[in-house]
Amino acid sequence: MGKNGLLRVSTGIPGLDEILDGGLLGQRSYLVRGRTGTGKSTFGLHFLLAGAERGEKVLYITVEEPLHTIRQNAEARGFDLSGIDFLDLSPTSEFFAQASAYDIFSPAEVEREPTTKRIVAAIGKLRPRRVFLDAVTLFRYLSTDAFSFRKQVLSFVRFLVDEGATLVFSSEASTAAPDDDLQFISDGVIELYFERSGRVTRRAIAITKLRGSDFRPGIHTMKLTDRGIEVFPRLLPEAYAKPFRAEPISSGVPQLDELLHGGIERGTVTIVAGPSGVGKTSTAMQFMKEAAGRGERSVVFTFEESRDSILKRSEAINIPVHDMVERGTLAIVEIEPLLFTADEFDHMVRHEVEAAGATIVMIDSIKGYSLSIPGEDLVGRLHALARYLRNMGVTAILTNEIEAVTGEFRVTEHGISYLADIIIFLRYLEINGRMRKAIGVLKKRLSDFERTLREVSITRYGIQVGEPLTGLRGILRGTPEWTTPPRSLEEHRGRLEEAA
């Protein structure tokens, strides 16, 4: 049963059933359309195998592809076809050898009756609950005109539905043979897409029609693997919610917590911004270290830095990531952005949150994430993911690299600062020829925060945050100046020591 109480028929593809609000409606007809190589036949096998696993009688009617080819392709994916009955109507080599000619009647008129009888006989003998017709072009061959074709398809659909079957049929539309009439006849339309850009292959699926039921709109990522079809639904954050208390999460560094007036709150989004090498990842890892001490699980999705690099660098600054990983309080997932879509990444995040129980999720970094969605709306995608994490009471930390080391102060370069409940920024400072680092808080929605900057250093003992930097101006430009010049060399040295 689906959410609306209607009888549902599983497609055998979990992600697709989620998009369909639980599956297809039973005893109806569905059109699967797409060009060659999009996975229509594999879709049909999933649909039939799901029925066979439930002990249902299922029938595969093939019109173009020979049965032995279907079996070979299925075996390559590990599909067990023992529970599927087949009706092979594809042309044989004998058909070509006989070179039959029809001088008085059209081929459609001659072939229609015996073909129809074979279908009716198979349905009557088996009485299947599921039927997959690959492809509906059969009825074009058996029809003399468009009206006859539409009538043939409609009568075939009604015959199967009256027999208690759910029908899925495939179509490969072209300019010469459009399938608009089939979309009108069917109760649902499922579109399969396929495109290749260089070495990157992208597949997608969309529901464009589903009579009598709601469904998740939009185009969703699909993959065709050695196990068959995998579907990754587009994330709808409003569909998820979990009660939680927005309590502060400590970093374990007293001075950093003072900056934040207690820490970052649970169920919020924090952006840690700064130029390369300033300590963004290390600062974020400090919150995960403290969470691990409470027995909570965190996950880092790294798009740029390798997993081994994060492990080594964190251990070098007194963050025991190896122990955290072994105890299950930390997972570091290395992502190759060009191999994953945003839908796949959302699926991985959902698994960590809903199945593994992660309470802190870190994306390192926004720029790396953007490579997974070329041509798509970066802000919209991050908005949906951030809202989902908020709804689930998960603390999200996003690192964002700023290209400029000094000069004009910017937090993000993608227009996404509005997503953040908290913005922590780190800056390089040049004071009297020495390179220093400063940390500050620019924004915090749920509480007040300290409006001064503090010097920060990353040492083998961990992150060390100093007292507020006073007596300096122009810190955000990266080249600060004293508010009043020192009156003596001793005062100058004293100011340097105080700033340190």
153 and 107 fall within a common domain: yes
Tokens representing 452 are 């001064």
C-alpha–C-alpha distance, residues 44 and 70, integer Å: 11
C-alpha–C-alpha distance, residues 308 and 332, integer Å: 9
Tokens representing 431 are 């004071």
- Structural domain contains residue 209: yes
- Structural domain contains residue 242: no
265 and 371 fall within a common domain: yes
Q: Which helix (H) or strand (E) holds 284?
A: helix 280-293
Low-confidence ranges of the chain (pLDDT < 50): 2, 95-111
Dump pLDDT digits (tens) for 109-141: 444 567 778 888 899 899 999 999 988 876 666
Using only the alpha carbons of the chain, give its radius of gyration: 31
- Structural domain contains residue 308: yes
124 and 210 fall within a common domain: yes
CA atoms within a 13 Å half-sphere pointing along the CA-CB vector of 123: 24
Q: How many angstroms separate the Cα of 392 from the Cα of each of 281, 330, 352, 356?
A: 23, 18, 12, 13
Question: Whole-model pTM above 0.75?
Answer: yes
180 and 254 fall within a common domain: no
Dump pLDDT digits (tens) for 224-261: 988 899 999 999 999 899 999 989 999 999 999 999 99
121 and 198 fall within a common domain: yes
203 and 289 fall within a common domain: no
Q: Which helix (H) or strand (E) holds 135?
A: none
- Domain tally, the chain: 2
Res 15: pLDDT:
94
Res 5: pLDDT:
54
Q: Which has the closest alpha carbon to 52: 159, 131, 123?
A: 131
* Domain finish residue from 183, 201, 234: 234
CA-based end-to-end distance of the chain: 66
Q: How many angstroms separate the Cα of 453 from the Cα of each of 122, 428, 473?
A: 79, 12, 11
C-alpha–C-alpha distance, residues 475 and 438, integer Å: 8
Q: Which has the closest alpha carbon to 6: 29, 25, 20?
A: 25
3 state DSSP class of 272:
strand
C-alpha–C-alpha distance, residues 321 and 324, integer Å: 5
- Structural domain contains residue 110: yes
- Supply the range of the domain harboring residue 300: 248-499
- Structural domain contains residue 181: yes
3 state DSSP class of 210:
strand
Res 402: pLDDT:
82
- Structural domain contains residue 479: yes
Q: Which has the closest alpha carbon to 388: 273, 296, 269, 263?
A: 269
- Structural domain contains residue 2: no
Res 488: pLDDT:
54
As a dihedral over the C-alpha atoms of residue 413, residue 414, residue 419, residue 423, rounded to 10 degrees, the angle is: -10
CATH of the domain at 67: 3.40.50.300
